[in-house]
């Protein structure tokens, strides 16, 4: 599968996960704290959205022969070094990788308020990531960025 097709599929997955979170308007803070299903839905959906972002990043790195990152956070730096994303975006994207590691490796130490805060205030980070990747994809492949949704 060509780089463009993989990236488009992964971006569509990210959009789906973020839309699922945005549509979960019934999950208030009180419900989140008291309902384990709501907690797991938000945690797991954030997790797979972040994993999909990392899949995009690693696919681009591999397909373009960029240097191998030393960590998930560093993978975003590799894209910035190569002009795929803006350097200032690292302050938003690298914490996603760190949060992913916390979810995967320190599950019992996750602060519920942090998770709820990401759910309510940080979903735009995924949108910005999508837009940066699609802008690069248009430059590289000459595709219409809206073609992903077709």
**Residue at 149 is within a domain:** no
pLDDT at 140: 73
- The average confidence (pLDDT) of the chain is 91
Copy the structure tokens of residue 41.
Answer: 């839905």
Residue 148: inside a domain: no
Question: Total domain count for the chain?
Answer: 1
Query: Which structural domain, as residue segments, surrounds residue 49?
Result: 3-143
Length of the chain as a residue count: 150
Q: Is residue 35 part of a domain?
A: yes
Is residue 13 one of the residues assigned to a domain? yes
- What is the full DSSP assignment across 66-95? PPPPSSHHHHHHHHHHTTSS-GGGHHHHHH
Residue 23 lies in a domain: yes
For the segment 50-74, the average pLDDT, to the nearest whole number, is 97
Model confidence pLDDT, tens digit, residues 80-137 = 999 999 999 999 999 999 999 898 887 667 889 999 999 999 999 999 999 999 999 8
Compute the distance between CA of residue 55 and CA of residue 6 in angstroms, rounded to an integer.
9
| pLDDT value for 108 | 66
Between 64 and 2, where is the model more confident? 64
pLDDT at 3: 65
Domain CATH for 123: 1.20.120.580
Residue 44 pLDDT greater than 90, yes or no: yes
Q: What is the DSSP letter of 104?
A: H
Q: How far apart are CA 49 and CA 30, in angstroms?
A: 24
Residues 57 and 35: their CA atoms lie apart, in Å, by 33
pLDDT of residue 146: 52
pTM: 0.89
């Amino acid at each position: 599968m060509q780089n463009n097709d993989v990236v488009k599929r992964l971006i569509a997955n990210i959009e789906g996960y973020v839309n699922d979170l945005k549509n979960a308007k019934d999950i208030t803070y009180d419900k989140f704290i008291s309902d384990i299903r709501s907690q797991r839905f938000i945690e797991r959906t954030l997790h797979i959205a972040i994993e999909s972002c990392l899949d995009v990043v690693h696919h681009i790195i591999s397909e373009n022969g960029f240097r191998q990152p030393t960590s998930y956070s560093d993978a975003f730096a590799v894209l910035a070094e190569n002009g795929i994303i803006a350097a200032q975006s690292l302050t938003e994207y690298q914490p996603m990788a760190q949060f992913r590691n916390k979810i995967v490796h320190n599950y019992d130490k996750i602060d519920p308020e942090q998770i709820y805060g990401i759910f309510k205030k940080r979903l735009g980070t995924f949108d910005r990531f999508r837009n940066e990747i699609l802008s690069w994809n248009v430059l590289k492949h000459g595709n219409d960025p809206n073609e992903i949704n077709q």
